[in-house]
A and B are shown apart, each in its own frame.
Chain A
Amino acid sequence: DAGVIQSPRHEVTEMGQEVTLRCKPISGHDYLFWYRQTMMRGLELLIYFNNNVPIDDSGMPEDRFSAKMPNASFSTLKIQPSEPRDSAVYFCASSWMGNQPQHFGDGTRLSIL
């Protein structure tokens, strides 16, 4: 079975542009997580979904960030407008239950100039 698939792997864009990150979870996994990794804060949980419903978005930094999960096999994380401080590696992960090991994608390295 394929693992968690994220796209794009790298994104470089200018400040103020809209950025959309995509994730395809493992089939059958009911939970999907979005994380941001930075040197200062390590892995930060941004938001997670259960059965396509957002459960906890308290980690979303501000209103510029939004996430959707229109169906069980696809999720997006959008930043609009983007700022240089959003530069980081963004990971998507999925698990079949919230308290089970998570399976991570290889991440999207985002650079905002």
Chain B
Amino acid sequence: DQQVKQNSPSLSVQEGRISILNCDYTNSMFDYFLWYKKYPAEGPTFLISISSIKDKNEDGRFTVFLNKSAKHLSLHIVPSQPGDSAVYFCHSLVYNFNKFYFGSGTKLNVKP
């Protein structure tokens, strides 16, 4: 029962270009979404979040977009840098009931 799906296991992007990572969810009760970044041999670290009352949240080079009707969110990284090479996890939850699910991750490779 995969309630959160990241259908692209990997993505390769040239330095300076835009990286777009996608996440789909099935549960319309989800109302808070987070992205985490994970380097090898380290635990995931929180990157950016968005509430369902918004459709966009921006933090520096990172922007998350939420399309509630499509049950889809995406993370945009502009411009991409080699240090962004990592695995990115999408995390969806029901804010008041503490039900939460992680996607399987997308491995981003930013080529110099």
Residues of A in contact with B (beta carbons under 8 Å apart): 4, 35, 41-45, 55-56, 91, 93, 98-99, 101-107
Cross-chain contact of A45 among B42, B45, B96, B100 (Cβ < 8 A)? B100
B34–A101 contact, CB under 8 A? Answer: yes
B103–A42 contact, CB under 8 A? Answer: yes
What are 18 A-B contacts with C-beta separation under 8 Å? A4-B43, A42-B6, A42-B89, A42-B103, A44-B102, A45-B102, A55-B98, A91-B43, A91-B44, A99-B32, A99-B95, A99-B100, A101-B34, A101-B46, A102-B44, A103-B46, A106-B42, A106-B43
Residues of B in contact with A (beta carbons under 8 Å apart): 6, 32, 34, 36, 41-46, 49, 89, 93, 95-96, 98, 100-105
Min distance, Cβ A60 to any Cβ of chain B, angstroms: 16
A99–B98 contact, CB under 8 A? Answer: yes
List 7 additional A-B contacts (Cβ < 8 Å) besides A43-B104, A99-B96, A101-B49. Answer: A42-B102, A42-B103, A45-B102, A91-B43, A91-B44, A98-B100, A101-B46
Q: Say yes or no: A42-B105 contact (C-beta < 8 A), given A101-B46, A104-B45.
A: yes
Min distance, Cβ B112 to any Cβ of chain A, angstroms: 27
Q: Kindly state the separation between the CA atoms of A45 and B95 in the bound complex, as whole angstroms.
A: 17
B104–A41 contact, CB under 8 A? Answer: yes
Q: Kindly state the separation between the CA atoms of A49 and B44 in the bound complex, as whole angstroms.
A: 19
